[in-house]
Amino acid sequence: MVYRFLHTADIHLDSPLRTLALRNLELSEMIGLATRRSFVRIIDLCLEEQVNALVVAGDLYDGEQTSMKTARFLAEQLGRLQQADIRTFIIRGNHDALSKITAELVMPETVKVFGAVAEVVAVDRDPGHFPVAIHGMSFAKPHAPESLLRNYALPVPDAVNIGIMHTSLGGSTGHDLYAPCSVPDLRQTGFRYWALGHIHKRSAIEDTSSAIVMPGIPQGRDINEDGSKSVSLVTVRDDRSIVVEERHTAVAQFERLVIDVSGAVDWRDLVLKANGKLKDLSSTKSAEHLVARVELKGSSEFAWLIRRDADLLRTELETHASDIRNVWIEKLVTSPVAPRREEARSGALEELASIVDTEIRGSISYLEEVRSIADEMRSQLPPELRDMFGKDEASFETLLSQFAKDGASQVLARLRGGEGA
């Protein structure tokens, strides 16, 4: 008899919005509830597929959660699985270790939460069915700088051994190093399937001996988690071979849309081109909603107009997006669109542009003013959002330099707009 389970991780329930670009209240509400709605979809999928278990490889929560509403929601959803006699196996990741409600929440009886000491659970199976052993270990503290692999027990003889681990593997861009290990290390354990968590981008490494799967985050939370998001539906066949199927679970899908404005002949042509690209992108989404960051690139003789009237262009795109249905504009980026240096253009404005480029933008007083404004804005943000201005001094300085460059470009674009009026 086959054994089937759904593997997910990094749900980050009720994660706070991490971008100021979501100023649209309706959009903000939709994104704010997206992690919950995605989790409901995961539970629905478990019921529809009649799986034997749900496996959660860490980070149900998003850090120092204090709201018991999140805990009650989780207990209610896992209770739906209990009613269907579907077991749940959970390990705690680095974010769960920070949560104040993790230890207080009373889970349904069918839920097994692994502790800080590695354990093995023998799954109840009918006589004649191959045995299944689930191995797991939770983070006791928010940081795990060393591999946890040596703590796991040896594989149970004659059983299909499934390991659950929260790990950064060998490291990944944008992720801190947690419980590092390697794919060869995991293969040497003899486990048939490794259910991993922590890295938010999906990856699956399969061969005849094992499957090592990082399902990724099931619901992106901002533009840095763009693309389709999913979970893994795993089937262990009677011959103990494994089939891993990707199932999409995101309610909202973030995507970056880059549009080359070089070929646009006028404003109307630009709007039509952008709207067409937006419609094409919407047709490829796997989620119910598309949240797009639109970036305009290339050189155009009316680039200054794009900079000056970016707010009008965004309104045009938002109007078209609402006509498409379930398409949202998260942000419009026009800074890469550089005005074309025209030979005929000269005089005071070009002299001013040269002064801005060579003297003002790099001046200490100008940068100090930009830094002062950025510091004031950062101080008004809640702690969990302050990393938007950089996680360290170097990244903060890089961001300030970009702010200074963009600000100067915007001023010049508006001046050129006045010149052409």
Q: List phi, psi (to 5°) of 19.
A: -140, 140
Residue-wise pLDDT tens digits, 359-386: 565 667 767 777 778 777 777 776 656 6
Query: Is 211 strand, coil or helix?
Result: strand
Residue predicted with more confidence, 231 or 400 = 231
Residue with tokens 């981008």: 201
CA 321 to chain centre: 22
29 touches 136 (CB < 8 A) = no
What would you report as the CA-atom Rg of the chain, rounded to the nearest whole angstrom?
26
Give the DSSP letter string of 28-77: HHHHHTHHHHHHHHHHHHHHHHT-SEEEEES-SS-SS---HHHHHHHHHH
- For residue 36, pLDDT over 70 is answered with yes
292 touches 256 (CB < 8 A) = yes
Mean per-residue pLDDT for 162-176?
Answer: 75
Query: Which two three-digit tokens encode residue 280?
Result: 């094409």
> The whole model's pTM is what?
0.80
Q: Any residues with CB less than 8 A from the CB of 265 and at least 6 apart, and which?
A: none
Residue-wise pLDDT tens digits, 202-252: 999 998 889 999 999 999 999 999 999 999 999 999 999 999 999 999 999
Domains defined along the chain, listed by start? 3-248 (3.60.21.10), 252-340 (no CATH), 345-421 (no CATH)
Residue-wise pLDDT tens digits, 62-100: 766 557 788 889 989 999 999 999 999 999 886 555 455
Query: Which two three-digit tokens encode residue 30?
Result: 């939709």
